[in-house]
Homo-oligomer: A and B are copies of this chain.
Amino acid sequence: MIVTMQPGATLKEISAVIRSLEGFGAQPSISRDCGCTLITAATSKIPIEDQQLRSLSGVRDVHQDVHPFKKVSRDYHPEDTVITAGPAVFGGGRFCVIAGPCAIENEEQIDGVAAHVAAQGAKGLRGGAYKPRTSPYAFQGLGVPGLKMMRAAADAHGLAAVSEVMSISQVAEAVEYLDVLQVGARNMQNFDLLREVGRTDKPVLLKRGPSSKIEELLLAAEYIVDAGNPRVILCERGIRTYETATRNTLDIAAVPVVKQLSHLPIIIDPSHAAGKREYVHSLTLAALAVGADGVMVEVHPDPSKALSDGRQSLHYVEFSALMGDVRRLAEFRAPVGV
C-alpha cells in the first residue's frame, strides 16, 4: 500500500497516516520526493480500507496493493484448478457442456432432455427446481419433488445434476440430490448463502451478477473458498448494458481476464446472455474458442410450451447440430476433448 501525501502535508498529517496504518498492524515507512511524501506499508494482517485513509487530512492518493482475493488468486496458486463432479470435469483443457431445461416441469420432460443431451455428449444436466422470479406471480418451481426427478434422470443417463439453490434453507435438502450447487446471478452477493454453500462438500457453480465486476465475482468466490469449499466454478452469463438486441451483453473477455487473475475454471451461459435461441450456437463456439471451460445451455423438448425462458431454449435438433460443431472445434483447441 502506498499513500501519497499532498505537497504541503504537515508533519502532523503524516503522523496521523502512519498511526492509522500502524493501527491496522502494518509497519509503514516514509520516503520523500519532489515535494511529496510517500508512505509505504507492506500487507497488514487485517485489510486496510482505502476510504478511511483517503479521508485523512493531507492525503492525496492511496494505492492498494494487497490482494483482496488471495485464495482464488492465481498469484498464490499458479496452476489451474480442475473440478470433478461425477462425469463432469471442469478445467484442465476440457470443454464441459451442461444442458437442460430452464425449469424442471415433470418426470417425462427432464428424463427426455437428459436422454437427448447425454447422447449428444453433454456431461451435466441443468434444470431449476427453485426458480427466482422477478414477479411474485410467475411460476416458482417444483422444489424437492423436482430435485428427485432430476436426480433420477441424471443417474439414468450418466450426467451430473446441476441446479440452483436460492436460500440457506434449501441447501441441506439440495445437497442430497445434486452434484453441483448453483448460486444464481441475483444471489452472487447474498453473502450468507455463499458461506452456506461454502460449508458443503459439493462443487459450486457461481454465476456472475448482471451488474457485477469481474473482481466482485472473484470476491464472491473467495467467500465460498474461505468458508472451506475450494471447488468453485465461475459462470459468465451476460451483464446488463444499454443494448437491447440481446437479453444481456455477453462479456466474452471475462474468460481471459479470469484466467489471468484466478486459477478457477470458468464457463459461459450463452442462453441467458442472448435471450434468443438463434444466437446460442455461435456464442457457444465463441466460448470454446476464447478458452472457456464449458457452457451451460438451455434445451427443451418443446420450447413453445416451456414454463419459462422458452424463447432462449434450443430444440433437440438444434442442440445436436451444436454438439457436432463443438466436437469439431474442440479438436482445434485441445487434445483433451469435449
With an 8 A cutoff between CB atoms, is A321 at the interface?
Answer: no
Q: How far is the CA of A215 from the CA of B61 in the complex (A)?
A: 18
Cβ-defined contact, B31 with A306, below 8 A: no
Max count, chain B CB within 10 A of own CB: residue among A46, A241, A255:
A241
The residue on B at minimum CB distance from A59 is B304
The residue on B at minimum CB distance from A242 is B240
Max count, chain B CB within 10 A of own CB: residue among A4, A256, A291, A329:
A256
With an 8 A cutoff between CB atoms, is A229 at the interface?
Answer: no
Contact of A253 among B4, B246, B291 (CB under 8 A): B246
Q: A256-B278, A282-B291, A285-B290 are in contact. Are A33 and B34 (CB under 8 A)?
A: no
Pick from A82-90, A118-126, A144-152, A188-196 the stretch touching chain B. A188-196
Cβ-defined contact, A282 with B273, below 8 A: no
Cβ-defined contact, B47 with A138, below 8 A: yes
Q: How large is the interface on A (under 10, 10 to 19, 20 to 34, 35 or more residues)?
A: 35 or more
Contact of A51 among B41, B52, B222, B311 (CB under 8 A): B311
Cβ-defined contact, B288 with A135, below 8 A: no
Pick from A73-81, A109-117, A163-171, A173-181 the stretch touching chain B. A163-171
Q: How far is the CA of A243 from the CA of B239 in the complex (A)?
A: 9
Cβ-defined contact, A54 with B311, below 8 A: yes
Contact of A63 among B61, B226, B242, B282 (CB under 8 A): B61
| Cβ of A196 to closest chain B Cβ, rounded Å | 9
Cβ-defined contact, B36 with A40, below 8 A: yes
Contact of A42 among B34, B210, B289 (CB under 8 A): B34
Chain B residues within 8 Å of A242, by CB? 211, 213, 239-242
| Cβ of A84 to closest chain B Cβ, rounded Å | 25
Cβ-defined contact, A55 with B310, below 8 A: yes
The residue on B at minimum CB distance from A257 is B245
Q: How far is the CA of A278 from the CA of B291 in the complex (A)?
A: 13
Cβ-defined contact, A249 with B241, below 8 A: yes
Q: How far is the CA of A35 from the CA of B290 in the complex (A)?
A: 37
Chain B residues within 8 Å of A309, by CB? 51
Q: How far is the CA of A242 from the CA of B169 in the complex (A)?
A: 33
Cβ-defined contact, B256 with A251, below 8 A: no
Cβ-defined contact, A47 with B253, below 8 A: no
Chain B residues within 8 Å of A52, by CB? 304-308, 310-311
Max count, chain B CB within 10 A of own CB: residue among A253, A256, A285, A288:
A253
Q: A40-B34, A134-B189, A168-B168 are in contact. Are A279 and B304 (CB under 8 A)?
A: no
| Cβ of A120 to closest chain B Cβ, rounded Å | 19
The residue on B at minimum CB distance from A184 is B189
Chain B residues within 8 Å of A137, by CB? 46-47, 68, 226
Q: A134-B189, A253-B279, A304-B52 are in contact. Are A32 and B31 (CB under 8 A)?
A: yes
The residue on B at minimum CB distance from A329 is B332
Cβ-defined contact, B246 with A257, below 8 A: yes
Q: A251-B249, A279-B257, A310-B51 are in contact. Are A219 and B288 (CB under 8 A)?
A: no
Cβ-defined contact, B282 with A256, below 8 A: yes
Given contacts A51-B308, A136-B226, 11 further A-B contacts (CB under 8 A): A31-B31, A47-B138, A132-B189, A134-B219, A187-B190, A241-B242, A241-B249, A246-B257, A282-B291, A286-B290, A289-B290
